[in-house]
Structures are given as structure tokens and as C-alpha cells.
Structure 1
Amino acid sequence: MKEKHLREYCQLNDKSNRVLELAFKKFSLSTRAYSRILKVARTIADLNEKAKIDEKDIIEALQYRKFIDESII
């Protein structure tokens, strides 16, 4: 998925954006990791038949990265 598609199809609500920003800062994520998390979160939202990505989708995507701790939740 290209950058323009990420912006179009991976729109975040305020809560999910805050969770992702916190993870980005706390874990020093690269831009590539940020994009991958968005893609996984989009897939999770699709599987749950949701039009938009919410914070639960972001948290689940982060958990697949194997580094989330309870302080982010």
C-alpha cells in the first residue's frame, strides 16, 4: 500500500491517533514500522467489518509487534 493509500484508507479517530503517537514516541518507531502498524490495524478493522480504525485496532496491531507493555493501554 502506497503512502497516498495509507492516508485515504487508514484514517484514524482521535483516540487511535493518540495511541499510535504515544507508541511511536515511546518505542522510537521508524516510519516504516508506523506504516506497517497502520496496515495491520486496517486489516484488523476490515476483519471486524469497521469502516474506520479505532484504538483497539491500533493496540492489537502493536501487540503483534511483540513490544507493547501495559502502560500504553
Structure 2
Amino acid sequence: MSTKMMRQYCLLPAAGDQLIKTAMEKLGLSARAYDRILKVSRTIADLEASEDIKVEHLAEAIQYRGLDKENWAG
């Protein structure tokens, strides 16, 4: 998914925007991780047949990212 498509299809509610900003700070995530979280959130929303990304979808994607980061740390 291109950046242009992400801006169109990965819109976050205000609470979701605050959640991802907090996660970025606390988990020390990069801009690339931000993009990946948005893409995973969009996929989760699609699997639930949701037109919009909800805070729950975003929280689940952040959780997966945290697990991924732990596995790399070993």
C-alpha cells in the first residue's frame, strides 16, 4: 500500500491518533513501524468488514508490533 493510499484508507479517529502517538513514544517506534501498524490496523478492520479503522483495531496492531519487537530482541 502506497503512502497516498494509506492517507486515504487508514484514517484514524482522534482517540486512535492519540493512542498511536503514545505507543510511538513509549515503545520507541520508528516512522516505518508507524506505517506498518497502520497497514496491519487496516487489515484487521478489513477482516472484520469494518469500513473504518477503530481504536480496537489499532490497539491490536500495536500489540502485534510489540510482540514482533520482543522476538527480535531475543
Determine if the TM-score, normalized by the shorter chain, exceeds 0.5: yes
Q: What is the root-mean-square deviation in Å for CA atoms of aligned residues?
A: 1.1
**Is the Cα contact below 8 Å between 1:38 and 1:58 reproduced in 2?**
yes
Tell me which protein shows more helix as a share of its residues: 2
Q: Which runs of 5+ in 2 are unaligned?
A: 69-74
Larger Rg: 2
The runs of 5 or more residues in structure 1 that have no matched partner are 68-73
Superposition map of 1:5-16 within 5 A: 5-16=5-16
User: What SS is found at the alignment partner of 2:19?
Assistant: helix
Counterpart-to-counterpart distance in 1, 2:52 and 2:17: 12
Runs of 4 or more consecutive aligned structure 1 residues displaced over 6 Å after TM superposition? none
Q: Which residue in the other structure is 1:42 paired with?
A: 42
Partner of 2:72: none
The aligned residue for residue 53 of structure 2 is 53
